[in-house]
Amino acid sequence: MTNRHAAMDEPFTLHLTGIAHGGEALGRHEGKVIFVPYAIPGETVRVQVVEEKERWARAQLLEVLEPSPDRVAPPCPYFGPGRCGGCQWQHIAYPRQLLLKQEIVGDQLRRLGHLSDPPVRPARPVGEPWGYRNHVQFAVDPEGRLGFYTAGSHQVIPVEQCLLLHPLLDELHAALELELAELTRLSLRAGIASGEQMVVLETEGDEAPELTVDFPVSCVLLRSREPPLILAGRGYIEEEVAGHRYRLSAGSFFQVNTAGAEALVETVTAYLQPGPDDRLLDAYCGVGLFGLALARQVAEVIGIESAPDACFDFVWNAEAMRLANVALIEGPVEEVLTAWVAAMEAPPEQPSDDEEQAALAGFGQGIDLAVVDPPRGGMGAEVVAALARLGPRRVAYVSCDPATLARDAQAFVQAGYRLAEVQPVDLFPQTYHVESVGLYVKRA
């Protein structure tokens, strides 16, 4: 229920003192936290409240009275209130963006993870802060034009050019000629190292629209109840990261920043310190970005993945790399880990009647190292506890959301681990989003 203060009805002056997860600057007025988008901590601004709750309010920025020295002119014509919601920080100089991301990760670990002094390193920049995305997903407006949603709504803003797209995608976007009557979503993907390009379509009724491009490109229709339909070229592209080549099917997840993916592999490797006798678990393994890159440094890699397309790519990539020490378990991580622990802890004289547990018993009595790359929702306390029962001495936790990173940090501490270090890696310049890698070390 909204609870309006009379003092909040009129515009007022506010000094901004911090940054929130979500990208908004914040200050305090009349005992409430006020969130202000498109502002910067340290600024004094004139604002008008547009949403008010019991403990906080959100305000519209009316005027910057005392600008930050880090305020810059946004280069994109679609950036700003009521416009494209893809970027939140084009008005902030890039070095300050990195500092704010470190601050956000540390703040979430303190508030949600209950860590008094979280060991968060400075955010690491990777590649260029513009033109970095190897994958983009467009929405379609009622007139069939491609664009992006406005912040907090389903209204589509048509966009002729996005400054975050890698030149391979920018070129592809400009070359498309589409009959869009039945199109609901369109994605563009590119292998930055291979130069390969792909158009991924989703339509009402899984109908294939007419499509024309002026150069070789793979085109795939994702269907709701049937396998993807290849309309042109191949059903996948290839990308190279840290000297390893990966097949990426149209429906498989992969990091949207290729230089950032390489930085993540480097960070995970440095954190895990793999040895030739180690058994490595790669949970939420996707196409094998981490596990396959580390396979030649360890005795064995065991991947867990539930998405069929990614599982197919993982096996393909392992065979293409001629890796004989890699196994894949297909299924949800929470179910696989629970069954694995049950199989591991079952008395040897009482073999399990459960086929899955019986199969998992063959994976032995635990693991030495683990890398986990969960979806935005994180792992959760039960999955963390199951992982801990397998006994890895080091866990590299790759996170795309500081809030779930922080909540899972508390679960790791309760499971007998300490958070040794967190390295934010900036895969998403001009936005508040930040990837992080946390290192958990098992306490003696």
Q: Are residues 180 and 234 in the same domain?
A: yes
Spatial CB neighbours of 280, under 8 Å, sequence gap ≥ 6 = 272, 274, 291, 294, 295, 298, 300, 301, 302, 367, 368, 369, 370, 371
For the cut 80, the answer to whether the pLDDT of residue 102 exceeds it is: yes
- Looking at residue 359, its pLDDT comes to 60
Q: Are residues 229 and 286 in the same domain?
A: no
**379 in any annotated domain:** yes
Is 215 strand, coil or helix?
A: coil
- Looking at residue 1, its pLDDT comes to 37
- Looking at residue 144, its pLDDT comes to 83
Between 221-225, 242-246, 294-298, the lowest mean confidence (pLDDT) is in 221-225
**95 in any annotated domain:** no
pLDDT above 70 coverage of the chain, percent: 93
For residue 40, the domain's CATH number is 2.40.50.140
Q: Are residues 285 and 411 in the same domain?
A: yes
**367 in any annotated domain:** yes
Q: Are residues 234 and 263 in the same domain?
A: no
Q: Are residues 183 and 290 in the same domain?
A: no
Q: How far apart are CA 120 and CA 154, in angstroms?
A: 35
Amino acid symbol at 168: L
Query: Given the structure tokens 């793999």, which residue do they identify?
Result: 274
Q: Are residues 223 and 294 in the same domain?
A: no
Please answer whether residues 427 and 128 qualify as being in contact, where contact means their C-beta atoms are separated by less than 8 angstroms.
no
Q: Are residues 361 and 282 in the same domain?
A: yes
- The tens digit of pLDDT for each residue in 134-189 reads 999 999 888 888 999 998 888 999 999 999 999 999 999 988 877 666 888 999 99
- Looking at residue 2, its pLDDT comes to 45
What value does the mean pLDDT take over residues 28-35? 95
**Burial environment of residue 82 by CB neighbours within 10 A (0 to 12, 13 to 18, 19 or more):** exposed
For residue 387, the domain's CATH number is 3.40.50.150
Q: Are residues 415 and 266 in the same domain?
A: yes
Other C-beta atoms closer than 10 Å to the C-beta of 142 total: 6
Q: Are residues 274 and 423 in the same domain?
A: yes
- The tens digit of pLDDT for each residue in 244-269 reads 999 999 999 999 999 999 999 999 99
Global pTM exceeds 0.75 = yes
- How many domains does the chain divide into? 3
**76 in any annotated domain:** no
For the cut 70, the answer to whether the pLDDT of residue 348 exceeds it is: no
Q: Are residues 219 and 323 in the same domain?
A: no
Q: Which of 71, 86, 120 is the last residue of a domain?
A: 71
- The tens digit of pLDDT for each residue in 404-438 reads 999 999 999 999 999 999 999 999 999 999 999 99
Is 124 strand, coil or helix?
A: strand
Q: How far apart are CA 14 and CA 8, in angstroms?
A: 12
**102 in any annotated domain:** no
Q: Could you tell me the residue range of the domain that residue 382 belongs to?
A: 257-442
Spatial CB neighbours of 279, under 8 Å, sequence gap ≥ 6 = 298, 299, 300, 302, 364, 366, 367, 368, 369
Q: Which of 178, 210, 238 is the last residue of a domain?
A: 238
* Residue 301, strand partner residues: 280, 326
For the cut 90, the answer to whether the pLDDT of residue 205 exceeds it is: no
pLDDT above 90 coverage of the chain, percent: 82
Between 14-18, 137-141, 274-278, the lowest mean confidence (pLDDT) is in 137-141
Q: Are residues 396 and 309 in the same domain?
A: yes
**124 in any annotated domain:** no
Q: Are residues 382 and 342 in the same domain?
A: yes
What value does the mean pLDDT take over residues 196-201? 95
- The tens digit of pLDDT for each residue in 365-396 reads 789 999 999 999 999 999 999 999 999 999 99
Q: How far apart are CA 44 and CA 66, in angstroms?
A: 5
**77 in any annotated domain:** no
Q: How far apart are CA 252 and CA 147, in angstroms?
A: 22
Q: How far apart are CA 396 and CA 284, in angstroms?
A: 12
Q: Which of 40, 71, 102 is the last residue of a domain?
A: 71
Annotated catalytic, 87? no
- Looking at residue 268, its pLDDT comes to 98
Average pLDDT, rounded, for the chain: 93
Q: How far apart are CA 35 and CA 48, in angstroms?
A: 11
**385 in any annotated domain:** yes
